[in-house]
Structure 1
Amino acid sequence: MQAGLKGPLRSSESGRPAHIEGVALDSPDLKIVFGHIGYPWHNEMIAFATKFPNIYIAPPHTNLSTILRSWFHL
């Protein structure tokens, strides 16, 4: 699944990880894999992956150092 910002001139609201919570609750046997960490909602994405054992985050192919700097305020 896609999480995070969408392309130009498109609303990114559907990319919020919180939108998948209902699916994770209703289908606990369904494995949900996000192909992105959900930036700028990466903290939300990590929280849901921690809360639900059926939500996974694939390794990011974006600039990981940018995300880490934002987490640790570097």
Structure 2
Amino acid sequence: MRSSFDIIAEILKTSKNGAKKTRIMYSCGLSYRFVQKYLGILLETGLLRIGSSYYTTDKGMGFLSKYQTLELLMNTRN
């Protein structure tokens, strides 16, 4: 099961070069209701911006960088 952070990271990755709502929905495997919910949160927090499509902002790229670092730390075996 994916966490909210996993879903957010997927949306931000999909939107790096711009993505329409439908593309985000199918790429991330989300229902319309969940896409609406997460896009609202990401726009409100400044992680995404909207133009002709949805785009990951610099702040969103920072989130992705930190998320990937945490992912590496969690997958490292001592």
Normalized against structure 2, the TM-score is what? Answer: 0.26
Normalized against structure 1, the TM-score is what? Answer: 0.27
Give the number of the structure whose residues are more often helix, by fraction.
2
